[in-house]
Amino acid sequence: MIKILTDSSSDLSNEIIEKYDITVVPLKVNIDGKDYLEGIDLTPQVFFAKLFSSEKLPKTSQPSPAAFAEAFSKFGENDELLCLTISSGLSGTYQSACMGKELSGANVTVFDTLAGSLAHGFQIIHAAELAQKEYSVEEIIAVLLRDREKMNILILLDTLENIVKGGRLSKFQGSIAKILNIKVILEGVNGKVEILEKVQGKKRFHKKTLEVIRHKKEDFSNTIFGITHTGNVEEAEALKAELIQQFHPKDVVVRYMGATMGTYAGRGGMIISFK
């Protein structure tokens, strides 16, 4: 039986993690000088309360190679391990997992999902389902490569405050964006994040988001949308209702965003994942 491992950035529920017996290696989060392990001693609700009350942006860091080596070494010699990580374009987690593989000497295949949040999580679920059906690691990887290619990731920034805090935008530029009520739609492209649209005003922002989704494919009847949010539950549920009404998908999953992605998404941010 193939064992599935991942890091804590996938935003999967505990129920899913337990259902598929997934081993999770947590990322570290430093807030105001104090270290936390994502998903272990820091829930999303507590994280966002701390994030929004802090003047400094939290710092996230990948698990160490030793942490991955320890996780890999807990399995038997006859176990095949498949570790799916957050995009190497967003974090050093993939590299740490590869180094952990070398340290442990375990039979591990490390796969870069080129994604974060539920776009990462959906790939983990698919891998776990295939493992239960007794697919080989090679067969699972072949399917994951197709999944990865088809995955769409839209990051909706209601405010640019955290981008300013992170030094990726000047305070002056951030102030202008706030005065003009500028919202930004980012897109995941080859594991990295690029600006797709800049929109003035909330109504135009939501309308443009739905337009972008509509142009991605013709038939959504077999699509599962993932929405992760930074505590703006009502807005996420309203978006879910819009997706159901307009696209009639197979399902829409709504979850809190974790610290890894939530640090930069900021207040009112959301990520939409689908393939």
Q: Domain check: are 15 and 101 in the same one?
A: yes
What is the rounded radius of gyration, in angstroms, for the C-alpha atoms of the chain? 19
Distance CA(53)–CA(67), nearest Å, equals 30
Q: Domain check: are 183 and 76 in the same one?
A: no
Q: Domain check: are 141 and 238 in the same one?
A: no
Q: Are 50 and 262 in contact (CB under 8 A)?
A: no
Q: Domain check: are 13 and 127 in the same one?
A: yes
Q: Domain check: are 220 and 113 in the same one?
A: no
* Cα distance between the two ends of the chain: 27
Task: Indicate the pTM of the whole model.
Answer: 0.92
Q: Are 144 and 118 in contact (CB under 8 A)?
A: no
Domain span holding position 190? 152-274
Residue with tokens 């077999």: 222
The pLDDT tens digits along the chain (275 residues) read: 899 999 999 999 999 999 999 999 999 999 988 999 998 888 899 999 998 888 888 888 999 999 999 999 999 888 999 999 999 999 999 999 999 999 999 999 999 999 999 999 999 999 999 999 999 999 999 999 999 999 999 999 987 776 656 555 455 454 555 655 778 889 999 998 888 888 888 889 999 999 999 999 999 999 999 999 999 999 999 999 999 999 999 999 999 999 988 988 889 999 999 99
Reading the block at residue 151, the tokens are 């995955």
Q: Domain check: are 80 and 131 in the same one?
A: yes
Q: Domain check: are 179 and 81 in the same one?
A: no
Beta bridge partners of 186: 155, 195
Contacts of 257 (CB under 8 A, 6+ apart): 11, 44, 117, 228, 229, 230, 265, 269, 270, 271
Q: Domain check: are 221 and 87 in the same one?
A: no
DSSP sequence for 132-190: HTT--HHHHHHHHHHHHHH-EEEEEES--HHHHHTTSS-HHHHHHHHHTTEEEEEEEET
The total domain count for the chain is: 2
For residue 123, give the nearest of 113, 133, 131 by alpha carbon.
Answer: 113
CATH number at residue 233: 3.30.1180.10
